[in-house]
Structure formats: C-alpha cells, structure tokens
Structure 1
C-alpha cells in the first residue's frame, strides 16, 4: 500500500468536521458539556494505517465521581424514575429518532476508530436504534405494578428502577452493545453513567449529544472516557446500584468481585468460544454461505464469532477444502472500501496477540490450510491474514481460548453425541449454531448445547430475544423483557382489606 493510498484511508474521516470540538474535547455530565479534570492523554491509532488520528483525554477518578454524583442526584430528586412507563417511552422514542439521524456518523466512527469494514458497520450500527425502539415499546406496555391477593388483603408488587447504573461496553462494538444496555436502563427508569473506552471514545458522546437534543432531563445520561483505572473506580463507587458490563472474562471476574463487596447488582456479558456444528445432512454450499460471515466477522473481533467448526469425520476433507477456498478468497484491505470483507484488527497489540495464537496452533500440531501471518498486501495497518486450522483437537490452545482474531479451528467428530460433547467442552457458553436440512433435528441438537444462544442454519440476534451466556460467558441477560428486568427491583407492599370492605 503506497503513501497515496495510506493518505486516502487516513483522510476518509475528518474528525474536526464530523464530530466537532465539543465531542472531541469534552465529557457529558449533568446535561452539560464539561472539560475533563484528567490530564492524561493517549493517542488514537488508525488500525488501517498504523498512524495517529486523534488525541484522547482520559477521565480521572474526579471525573467519574462527578458523573456518578450527577446521576445520583437525577435519580434521587429528578423526574425520570418517577415518570410513568409511557412517559419514558415517549422520550426514548425521541432519543431514538435523534440517534437515527446520526447512524451514518456512528457507522463511520466504527470504521475510523477500530477498522470495522463499512459493509459490516452499516449492517450492525442500526442495532442501536432497534434496541431503543424496542425498549420504548416495552416501557409503554410493561406493568410496573400489579395487584396480588393475600390472606389479609392484597399486595402491590412494584417494579422499581434499580437506581444509578454503570454501563461499560467494549471497544469492538460500542454502539450496538450500548443499545442493549441504554435502552433497557432508561426504560426501567434508571439514570446512567457510561464509561467509554479509550479505543472508541466518541460513540457514547455522540449519543449524549442526541440525548441533549431529545430533551432528556439533566443527569439521566452521563458519559466519561476512561481506562481500566476509571472503570474500577466507577464499579466500586458507593453511588452505583447496578453495573452492566460487556468485555473479557478476566475483567468480568474482577468486576463481579468488586460488586460482591457491596452487593451491587451486576450483569456480565463476557467472552465466547462458540461452536458451529455441521450435521451430516447439511447442504455444503448453503452451510458455507450462512457460516462464513459469522466465523470471522470484523476480523473475528466479535464475541459471538463461530470460531470452532465441528464437522462429521467422513465429510472432513471435503468441508476443509471448500471452507478454506472461501476463506482464502475473502477480500482483505481498506475498511473504507465497500467491497472489503476482512479489515485490520483493532491495534498493534491485538495483531501481535493473534499472531502468537497462530504460532501456538502450529506448534501444537494443528494443520494450517490458509493464512497464518500478517497481510502486508492488505495495507500498512494491523492486518492479519484470514486463517484456518484443520486437525484441531479439543486440548489445543486454539480450541479452548478466545483468540479475538480472524482464526477458525475445524474439528472432526464421529457421531452427534461426540459433536455435542465437543461443543460443550469449553469454559464458555455464549453462542453456537447448528447446520442441517432437518429443522426439528437441528432444534433437538441445539437443546443439548450449553450455550445462551444457538441458531439453526444461520446466526441472528433480535431485540426481543435475550442474549447472554452460560458458564464463564457471563451472568444475566440483555435484550428482551429479560434485559429490562435486569434493571428493575421488585418491591412488595402489603395492604390489608379496608375496614368495612367485603373480605
């Protein structure tokens, strides 16, 4: 990639024009744009070129405390938690409409910040407004109070907002994941503090700008940008009642421990090592067409990537050859090019991590069928060749650990029972898929997979369906009524039968 092409990539997004100085240099606290108290700045590096594209000021513990105080005051004394569900629904709809006008910007941000190919970003960014619209509808129809008869009279079961919620979404899919958390939290009546990561610092600030435009009451939505230190301070803050975190299992465990100390309510959506089970009756071309986009989407940097592919042993060679040919033919290159299917990984650190896993796969005896190294032909940034290993056994590192890169492992099985055993032989249980011509058979096998989400003949996430994991893939669910329930507390108020009333 020559200098002219590199300049073209780096100039595809003009932050000063598209974001403006307010979003580039401020946090959003108590309905106002405020200068960060922290002075530590880090460079935002373009994954497509390896060059600096912006300076990001990280929030201090003082910034975090200021945001929590604003959210606490808005919850304790403001109108938001006391509005009815339909009232909050109307405001959520206004917020969603404001965000909808910025979806092209949020899609471009995803490409600029971490190198998501534009075709991928355009497809998944609308998840944000889909979730906001879904929870607006749910807020307008949910019974936040119900009556239950008791021996002495009745009880009113009231579903109260949990309180001040800390929302922490990862760099890899900031906007879509925030849609799950923010939509449910606001529908429930919580006030929130969003801790945006240094890698994708501006997405949540764009949403905050939309909240201000929509007229959300001050203090209901607050945003600071911070690193792990700021995140740890946020989750341990006494003003936080609920934590919703998406990220690595290692960090999730630390957050769970911090929340346990204060009995803070917590939802954790963590890592995955999902298995795609190809049954012996699956039609090869249809399976490849449905499977390939989800084995290494966004260069494999998505928690639900189907990175373990289980195939019948008698069909192994045929499948490996066909799958390898498709993966080897994926177009790698500039993420701003609409034809690009594989862009860069997000950072130099991420590239080196993925390459280390590839070398481990080789050293442990897996057979490399395509890829296996850096991809200078794709560009000057952090490109890794789409990589496929065959002959993988369940004890190998690449079969057990989340690589978070464009690496797929093919494993052979002898019968369905063994396939189920291999699929479940994992510390994780987030996603999975079954490929078959017989949908009822697919459903039957899916029921045996210890995973929070299993799809038959494809992969889908829907706003009204819960998303989350078994085992070390997390605790709790996001999406659907279950996601709303994660931000609510049930309160029972007993009342006797009034004097003179019939019992």
Structure 2
C-alpha cells in the first residue's frame, strides 16, 4: 500500500477540522451532518468534516450581505483593498508547504505537481492586488451637456464555487478578483477537498479582513444549490462540470443573477506536418494527462497528419507507457491515483467504451495492478480514433488520450472544432507564424503554440459548453463589477479635471 504521511490533527488547527468561517469567526455547524475525507491513494478516510445545512448557508450569506451593505470593504479604495490582499498572499505563502501536502492527501496529486502549482494561488492574489492599486474604478467622459462619471462598482455578494480537483488554484482566480473588485464572498468548499479554502480563511483572518467579507462553508450539492438560489447572492462564479453549470445557469437566470461558468473541456492538440517530433512530445506529453488527466484544460484529443500517424503513435505511446504510476508522496511518481472510486468507475467505463467502439489501445487500458488499494489507472492511449467515438466527444477526466488522424490542415481545424466544448488547445509546428494562423481558426478560449501556458494577466475561459465569461486578467476583475453612469451638468466639481 502507498504511504500516507499526512496527519490532520497535528498539521491542521482544530478549528479547521470542526467548523466553518462565518462573519469573521470560526463557528460550529448547525447540525451533526458530516462526511469522511478519503485518501485516493489508500482508499482510507483520514478526516471527518462537517457539512453545511441550509441554516449554515443562510448565516454565511447573511454575513456577506451585511458586510457589503453596511461594512467598509466595498467603500474602500482599490489601493486599500490591495493592502489586505498582499497581507493575505504573504500569509498564504507561509502555508504553501501545507497546502501542497493537502493537495496530495485529498486528491492524490503527485507531490512534485502540487509543489509546482500551489504557488499560483499567491501569484493570483498578488496580481489582483497590483491591479486593484492601479485600476480605473472611476473615470469621467465628456458629454454634450457636461460629463458623465463612469463608476465601476462591485456587483455585491458573490458565491464562489471551485471544484475538488484543483480547489486552491481555481479559488484564487475567483477570490483575488472578487475581493479586488470590492465584493463580499461566500466560498463553498467541496467535501472531497474541504481544507484548502479554510486555510485561506485562516490567512484572511490573520490579515485583518473585515468580518463578513470572506465566509467559508463546506457543502455538498444540496448546500450548493441552496446557496446559488438565494436572492441575496448577486453573483455566482462556478467551476465544474458542464451538467452542473447548466443547472446553475438556469437558477441564476430565474432572477437574472450575474454568473460566470468555467466548465468542461475536450481540448485538441494539433500536430502540424512540419512539427519536430522530439520537442513536440516533450511539450505535449505533460499536458495530455497532467495530474492523472483530472484537469479541464488537458489536451485529450491529439490530431496528427495521417502521413505521420504511425510515427507519432509509436513515439507518443512509448513516452506515455514509460510514465511511472504509483505513490503520489514519492517524488519520482508521475501519475498518481484518480480522486475517488466514482472517478475510477467513470474512467474505466470510458476505456471500455473506446475498446468496444473500435479504437486500438496502444498502451495502458486497465486499472493498475501495482497496489491492492488505491484508485490507480494505467495511462492509456487510443489510436485509430474517429470523431464520432464516445472517447473523442465526452470529457473523460482521467489519464486517457485519443489520437485522431487528419489529411490536411482544413480537416484538422474542422476536427478540432467538431466538439461541444471550447476551453483550450495547442498547435505544434516548426513555423510559429503558421501555428498562429491555425490557432486563430480554433473555436476555443485559449490556444498555445508549441507549449501550454496560463498567465494571471490573461483571461481564461471557454467557448460553447465550456462556459460563460472569463477569469484572470482585467476581464476577471470586470466580471465582479457593474458599470454605473452618472450624468452631470457642465461646471460641476465632479466633472472638472484636477
């Protein structure tokens, strides 16, 4: 059995194990409802946490509502809010080793992967602190009869819902922007990964964030539905499955609540005929099944020229087949477990579907026999995949990649766009300008040439059923604001330039 060197009672403060953070205080839940947190590497529970009921959700939303309506936070200047964000970021930075260990314990992310990506949380908070310090929250524009003052106001109370797979990095996108804009927030932490958001709340508390500005509860689907439906919530920012996103969109539409949705993906990597094989494999392989493929932007459809299909299939399958599957606490492990038994069943079902529909498995294709316990699946590559197969159309969210052959660039672009999703994508070529021209034709929110990158100052989000709106960059800040125009007559002091 893999090791499990995480001990919650010694590594986490007692208040992180027993309650929620509401109105600037650590509070006990309203009921005895609880859930076990299971380590995917051992299938054993290592903690029990409370689950919010309707009363807890109501208390959190009420605290956020009071803090927005009567508290100082939305009335502070951008630079003043930025100072709090910087203090939070510094405190979070001191806890990065703990947060990395939490990612491995809760979800099974290999330790090297967690160590590499956990710092994105402080990067996002720092970015939005800098943006809040310089952003034009108010500007004057001349009109025929005087001027108009354009005020960018915080939208209000925001519900932030980040998924279990990458709770901390994704939450940081939402939280940094929401707080910089002047919103107050309720964070719904998932029961599978409950501790990350509570550690963030601990940092906010130590940073002196005013009571009610940040509230954190642990809630299941029922608690999340109650939160989204509350009329006191002005904005919902959700990252998760497309199916759940559609339900949230309908709920928000009933009362015209603002909503940002970052949903599923079935991203395509287009390998052009002039791509150099070795650097392409080195850049592509890590992003086809990072973190056991449990990342929305994974490049799970690999489109290769038919004239180079055999060459690529053999080389790529050899790289993926050599990946080390095993204990996520081992620094040499490249593929850890899936997050849950549900995920294991889902991924094995898709592998069986691919086999039945006629695709050929070139490596992997089964549950790993290395351990008796743990949700381990062999990294799997399918060749001979056609665009109508289930494995080419649905998001698998596991270590499974499909190779699809094309005859010319027009067909490659058509195949890339032949999907309900549009979140990410890559183009590999020896000619960057050619790669840029192809990237412009792909209907997806983010495309990289010869690599895959995400930057805090660049918007991230999807076309089609991959979502609505953007996170990151100034666009992510604007998503938490409303524009108000106040017309003023000529000569008013508010219209004069300093």
TM-score of the aligned structures, taking structure 1 as reference length: 0.97
Partner residue in 1 for 2:339: 346
Distance 2:488 2:13 in 1: 55
1:302-356 superposed Cα distances (whole Å, 9 cap, x missing partner): 0000000000001000100000000000011000011110000000110011000
> Which of 287, 295, 302 does residue 309 from structure 1 map onto?
302
Partner residue in 1 for 2:37: 44
Partner residue in 1 for 2:361: 368
Distance 1:143 1:21 in 2: 42
> Which of 317, 322, 326 does residue 329 from structure 1 map onto?
322
Show structure 1 runs of 4+ deviating over 3 A. Answer: 498-502
Distance 1:362 1:69 in 2: 52
Partner residue in 2 for 1:462: 455
Distance 2:371 2:67 in 1: 49
1:207-226 superposed Cα distances (whole Å, 9 cap, x missing partner): 00000011101100000000
Partner residue in 2 for 1:384: 377
Structure 1 vs Structure 2 CA RMSD = 1.2
Partner residue in 2 for 1:472: 465
Partner residue in 2 for 1:184: 177
Distance 1:244 1:38 in 2: 27
Q: How much does 1:499 deviate?
A: 8.1
1:14-57 superposed Cα distances (whole Å, 9 cap, x missing partner): 10011121101110000000001132211111100111111121
Q: What are structure 1's unaligned runs of at least 5 residues? A: none
Partner residue in 2 for 1:104: 97
Partner residue in 2 for 1:246: 239
Partner residue in 1 for 2:482: 489
What SS does the aligned partner of 2:370 have?
A: helix
Cα separation, partners in 2 of 1:147 and 1:415, compared to 1, 3 Å: same
1:151-181 superposed Cα distances (whole Å, 9 cap, x missing partner): 1111000000000000000000000001100
Cα separation, partners in 2 of 1:499 and 1:65, compared to 1, 3 Å: closer
Distance 1:497 1:346 in 2: 62
Cα separation, partners in 2 of 1:206 and 1:499, compared to 1, 3 Å: closer
Q: How much does 1:261 deviate?
A: 0.5
Distance 1:349 1:421 in 2: 33
CA contact (8 A) 1:332 1:378 kept: no
Q: How much does 1:497 deviate?
A: 1.3
Partner residue in 2 for 1:228: 221
> Which of 88, 96, 121 does residue 114 from structure 2 map onto?
121
2:286 equivalent to 1:293? yes
CA contact (8 A) 1:333 1:379 kept: no
1:6-155 alignment runs, 5 A limit: 6=2, 9-10=3-4, 12-155=5-148
1:104-157 superposed Cα distances (whole Å, 9 cap, x missing partner): 111110000010111111111111100000000000000100001111111000
Cα separation, partners in 2 of 1:281 and 1:216, compared to 1, 3 Å: same
Partner residue in 1 for 2:433: 440
> Which of 380, 405, 411 does residue 412 from structure 1 map onto?
405
Q: How much does 1:238 deviate?
A: 1.2
Cα separation, partners in 2 of 1:389 and 1:253, compared to 1, 3 Å: same
Q: Which moved more, 1:194-203 or 1:50-59?
A: 50-59
Q: How much does 1:376 deviate?
A: 2.1
Partner residue in 1 for 2:155: 162
Q: What are structure 2's unaligned runs of at least 5 residues? A: none
Distance 2:166 2:31 in 1: 25
